[in-house]
Amino acid sequence: MTTETKPSPRERLLEAAATLTYRDGVNIGVDALCKAAGVSKRSMYLLFESKDELLAASLEQRASAYVATLLPAADDGRSPRDRILHVFDQVELQSGAPEFHGCRYLAVQIELKDPGHPASQVARRIKKNLTGFFQAEAEQGGAADPGLLARQLSLVFDGASARAGIGADTLTGLVAPTVTTLLDAAGVR
């Protein structure tokens, strides 16, 4: 018989923050976070200096899973074009889930508005890394202007994710042709 260990109060707070802020937004109260985690406010403030620090830590903790589900494996043998399209295939797949509310990192930046907020800084770095992935692939694929293409791809990613997240549109049959048009125009192989 195996004994499952109960997640620590820190782990429960990070999970509650990730779940509630993705579903309800960053303005979720400390009481709601603590209740969902089964942790007292006193314990929360012993573990995290502030709710802001908890939000940033929660986003940071989710970053590697976000990258793993979105980006292709390094050196997977596919062309840069196919590696870029993979990202959009993943967001299209994710957008079909009923619990999909768009990109959590974009949502945090939009909601917080304060670029100095710890959670906004984490979110900005994660989004910058995605643009960096697009630029590196665009360079390898021979894009005429890799920096511009990376920004365009980020714009499409964020717009597609946001529109699907609010239920304004579905991505099926929309996002791949849009990205393909950009890749063709930039000369990416």
pLDDT at residue 1, as a whole number: 58
3 by DSSP, 3-state: which? coil
Q: Beta-carbon neighbour count of residue 71 at 10 Å?
A: 17
The model's pLDDT over 63-119, given as tens digits with 9 standing for 90+, comes to 999 999 999 999 899 999 999 999 999 999 999 999 999 999 999 999 999 999 999
pLDDT at residue 2, as a whole number: 59
Query: In which band, very low, low, confident or very high, does the pLDDT at 51 lie, cut at 50, 70 and 90?
Result: very high
The model's pLDDT over 152-187, given as tens digits with 9 standing for 90+, comes to 999 999 999 999 999 999 999 999 999 999 999 999
Q: Are 135 and 150 a contacting pair, CB within 8 Å?
A: yes
Which residues touch 95 (CB under 8 Å, ≥6 apart)?
A: 160, 161, 164, 165, 170, 171
Q: Beta-carbon neighbour count of residue 177 at 10 Å?
A: 9
Please tell me the distance from the alpha carbon of residue 130 to that of residue 134, in angstroms, as a whole number.
6
Please tell me the distance from the alpha carbon of residue 103 to that of residue 26, in angstroms, as a whole number.
13
Domain assignments of the chain as residue spans, ordered by start: 52-186
What is the CATH code of the structural domain delimited by 52-186? 1.10.357.10
pLDDT at residue 113, as a whole number: 92
pLDDT at residue 5, as a whole number: 86
CA-wise closest residue to 183 among 76, 84, 46, 101: 84
The model's pLDDT over 117-152, given as tens digits with 9 standing for 90+, comes to 999 999 999 999 999 999 999 999 999 999 999 999
Mean pLDDT in residue range 15-24: 96
pLDDT at residue 3, as a whole number: 64
